[in-house]
Chains A and B, each alone.
Chain A
Amino acid sequence: MKVRLLLGLLLLCPRPAVGAEILTVDARLSEAQLEVGDVLTLDIRAVAAVDGDVQIRLPPIQGMSVLGRSESTQVSMSWTSAGQTIRREKVVRVELSADQPGQVIIPPVVAEVGASKAESRPLEVMVTGNDSPAAAVATDDGEIVPPDPNETKLFVRYRLSQGSVWLGQQVLLDLEIFADPSSTFQLETIPDPPDLDGFWREVVERPKRLVPRTDVVQGRRYQVFRAWRLALFPLQAGQRTIEPVALSFRLGSGSLFGPGRRLRRRTRALELEVKPLPSLGRPAGFSPSNVGTYALTARVDERKVDASKALILKLSLSGEGNVKSARLPELKQIDGFRVFPPTVSEDIDLRPAGVHGTKTAEILLVPARTGELTIPSFRMSVFDPRAQDYGLLETDAIRVQVEGALPPSSAKAGPVVPPARPGATAQGDSSPRPLRYAAPLAPTATAPWSSGIWWAMVGAGPMLLGLIATLRAARTRSAKDDGAKARSALERLAKEKLVALETSATAGDPKGAAAAFTEAFYARAQARLELSLRGQTSDGAARALIERGADEAYARAVAQALETASFTRYAGGTVGDLTTTAREWSALVEGIDKGTYRGER
């Protein structure tokens, strides 16, 4: 019983059909030829007749990059007379992007299940590349480049409103998608409008939802969708190239089994002829920014104005063209007015038909006198592309009546408005303090120390004091010098007389010795003590010496010597031993040097 059960189970086990292949693999490409950057799909289908996980190994492919991969597996079982069979089918879809031009070989794809292995056949695809990009093409006004043979169902193109324009003239550039009405597609990306070298551009249309229209190209009907529209203003003359752009699509609406086939489509590069503005007939002072179909107007807010009020002059340039770069006429002076720098504003209107706009300069004019004043007409040269010629735009002159009296001249028109609530805070108050309607305006004062007068005042006083002090010091020094000279002369005299005293004593001349002693002592006393003893009695001299601090004995000795000397000189008296007396007399004179007059020994 158990054996039968086992045999039954064995019969039920699936086994490969006798004579059938266990594993097969097949690979196919969606395109045989494409351009660099384009995407193709590699579909791989492996079928295994046994149960087990089917592995598919994709070999490296030179010249291509894998963008994405999706897999699905289907398992089916069937019972035949040979028994149960199982069939496992695995589908792999790989998206590849062509990286470089040339012949690309896709090596065999290997599939494995268990010990079984199978290979697909190798595949080839031709890639044309950017090495030889399609040359730029010139088109007529509003025309497009026809589609290539491999893109008849879906292609993208630029469309220029004009194939040839003047420098600065507006031209419209559209990016359009042409699709066969029977095909459905999804747009993966719409590239941003490019920044084109040599052009000023404005995006005038960029719909969020593509709206189709019908067009016929080479006898074939297409649905045409505009992705965006640019208004271009060429900034340089010559042949300008508009570089191509590429868009990615998915064909079909997608299904449960996949999002649809992926495609890239590229526009062709376009050539645009930009003609330089004609030199013949070009007005003097013409600005190349002023290209367009324009009108120029000037108006004031009031024709009658009070002399104390200002008025506003509005000068406007409006029309079709690049108003942003247009240059309005400059206004420097108007007789009877003071002119202030203008405030310039622009109002640009981006329409599908192109760029329209208005550029306005608001100029504040303050009357400088009363009466009828005239604002002269303004002139401006432009180049009108429609007329293909230069033109002169001109406004009418404007008469303005200024009445009343000009404001009185006063830099001090009145007191400053005092604060309404001094010290009040801003809390709970939503209104600001009011304007100051009259203020004593004065030019900004400079710092005092930037004035020479200030420095002169600051320096003059101390300099004066310094000068006076210097003069006083000089005078004092001069007086001191005179005193020193006198003392020095007296010292010399005292020395001479001491020598004369010695000589007279040696010569036995008592009168001469007495005179020399007297003169020497007077001179030495004058020089050292500033004491004038001449004309004084001997007692008077002694008293004077004592008052100056002399020793009493010394003073008495001096008094005695002076008396003896005087007696000898004038009364013929004698002095005994003249040599000894002369020595004593010299000692008295030298006594002043030695400080004996103070009693010092």
Chain B
Amino acid sequence: MMGPATKLVLAFALSASAQPEEVARDFQAANERALAKEHGQAIALYESILERGYDDSDVYYNLGHVLEGAGRPIDAIVAYERALARAPGDADAIFNLERLRALHVSGLPEPAADAASLGEAVRPWISSDLTREAAWLFALSLLAACVLRAFFARVGAGTALANLGFFTATISLVVTLLGISALREVRAVVTESAALREGPDARFPDRGVVIPGETVRVRGTQGSFQEIQRLDGSTGFVERAALATVTYSL
């Protein structure tokens, strides 16, 4: 006879284990819909997986694939950028994204030599998973080093091991901070043509037009406008409604 506590634990365990199964099945079902060119249904399924907290780069990748097939290239660019925000070195996503831009986006500004920030420079190597792991390693190595120094400093190689722990903690901390820096930088994709204005209001004169499919760096928000920096380093204000944020932050 199961007591109430046991039932509660069992129910929790069952519910926790049921969701990954459902998600895996939905992912398969979405893929089949995509293969059958039933783009609307596939898109709905991928989006439902994302809404349930499975914010996975592969889901975004497949969603981008289907959106392109559905004739929504700009939305596909947004999805691929979001996949890359979660898995920066994904060669397939990079390939598909570049291909989409080559086919559907023209008139992009030339990238400035010094326009890349520290975050952009390290992004290809530091993913969100690596940043999380580095943070845990930092905590663990710091704790171990302190314990060794406290209790085993006079025992054999205690001090040496403690110093190794501190060194590991330092490196891990640096990687964590770089990862946070890379992931905190807000980027967005332009989803519709909009004026690039000198100030955060429609009354400000415009100094150009941003192009749908272009990726920009977001530097701040003022009201319904966001201050952006383009690839060529030029800055200005664009209406928020014309931008889709793609950055993934921890």
With A426-B99, A447-B250 known as contacts, the answer to whether A454 contacts B59 (CB < 8 A) is no
Identify which of residues 45-65 in chain B touch chain A, using a CB-to-CB cut-off of 8 Å.
Answer: 45, 48-49, 53-56, 58-59, 61-62, 65
Q: How far is the CB of B26 from chain A (nearest CB, A)?
A: 7
Separation of A406 and B95 alpha carbons in the complex (Å): 35
Separation of A417 and B31 alpha carbons in the complex (Å): 14
Residues of A within 8 A of B144 (CB): 461
Q: Is the CB of A460 within 8 A of B31?
A: no
Q: Is the CB of A429 within 8 A of B99?
A: yes
Contact of A457 among B59, B68, B143, B250 (CB under 8 A): B143
Residues of A within 8 A of B38 (CB): 312
Residues of B within 8 A of A436 (CB): 31, 58, 61-62
Identify which of residues 332-368 in chain A touch chain B, using a CB-to-CB cut-off of 8 Å.
Answer: 338, 340-341, 343, 362, 364, 366
CB-CB nearest in chain B for A468:
B150
Q: Is the CB of B33 within 8 A of A310?
A: yes
CB-CB nearest in chain B for A427:
B102
Residues of A within 8 A of B145 (CB): 461
- Chain B 126-149 against A: per-residue CB contact (8 Å), 1 yes, 0 no? 000100100110111011111101
| Chain A binding surface, main DSSP class | loop
Contact of B24 among A362, A364, A407 (CB under 8 A): A407
Q: Is the CB of A416 within 8 A of B95?
A: no
Q: Which of A24-32, A438-446, A591-599 contacts B (4 or more CB under 8 A)?
A: A438-446
Q: Is the CB of A409 within 8 A of B20?
A: yes
Would you call A8 an interface residue if the criterion is a C-beta within 8 Å of the partner chain's C-beta atoms?
no
Subset of 24 A-B contacts with CB under 8 Å: A308-B32, A309-B32, A310-B29, A310-B33, A312-B41, A338-B22, A340-B48, A366-B29, A419-B91, A425-B98, A426-B99, A426-B100, A432-B68, A433-B96, A435-B34, A447-B132, A447-B250, A448-B135, A458-B138, A458-B139, A460-B146, A461-B144, A465-B146, A468-B150
Could you tell me how many residues of chain B have their Cβ less than 8 Å away from some Cβ of chain A? 60
Identify which of residues 134-187 in chain B touch chain A, using a CB-to-CB cut-off of 8 Å.
Answer: 135-136, 138-140, 142-147, 149-150
Would you call B28 an interface residue if the criterion is a C-beta within 8 Å of the partner chain's C-beta atoms?
yes
Q: How far is the CB of B78 from chain A (nearest CB, A)?
A: 15
Would you call B23 an interface residue if the criterion is a C-beta within 8 Å of the partner chain's C-beta atoms?
yes
Q: Is the CB of A343 within 8 A of B24?
A: no
Q: Is the CB of A426 within 8 A of B102?
A: yes
Would you call B110 an interface residue if the criterion is a C-beta within 8 Å of the partner chain's C-beta atoms?
no
Residues of A within 8 A of B25 (CB): 308, 366, 406-407
Separation of A257 and B18 alpha carbons in the complex (Å): 89
Residues of A within 8 A of B11 (CB): none
Q: How far is the CB of B116 from chain A (nearest CB, A)?
A: 19
The 3 closest A-B pairs by CB, nearest first: A461-B146, A426-B99, A439-B58
Identify which of residues 173-216 in chain B touch chain A, using a CB-to-CB cut-off of 8 Å.
Answer: none
Separation of A429 and B92 alpha carbons in the complex (Å): 13
Q: Interface residues, chain B, CB within 8 Å of chain A?
A: 17, 19-29, 31-35, 38, 40-41, 44-45, 48-49, 53-56, 58-59, 61-62, 65, 68, 90-92, 95-96, 98-102, 129, 132, 135-136, 138-140, 142-147, 149-150, 250
CB-CB nearest in chain A for B142:
A461
With A435-B62, A441-B23, A461-B145 known as contacts, the answer to whether A308 contacts B98 (CB < 8 A) is no
Residues of A within 8 A of B250 (CB): 446-447
Q: How far is the CB of B159 from chain A (nearest CB, A)?
A: 13
Q: How far is the CB of B247 from chain A (nearest CB, A)?
A: 14
Would you call A423 an interface residue if the criterion is a C-beta within 8 Å of the partner chain's C-beta atoms?
yes
With A312-B41, A427-B102, A448-B135 known as contacts, the answer to whether A419 contacts B95 (CB < 8 A) is yes
Separation of A439 and B50 alpha carbons in the complex (Å): 14
Q: Is the CB of A432 within 8 A of B32?
A: no
Contact of A432 among B31, B96, B135 (CB under 8 A): B96
With A409-B17, A435-B34, A464-B146 known as contacts, the answer to whether A443 contacts B48 (CB < 8 A) is no
Q: Is the CB of B22 within 8 A of A426?
A: no
Q: How far is the CB of B175 from chain A (nearest CB, A)?
A: 13
Separation of A454 and B91 alpha carbons in the complex (Å): 33
Would you call A149 an interface residue if the criterion is a C-beta within 8 Å of the partner chain's C-beta atoms?
no
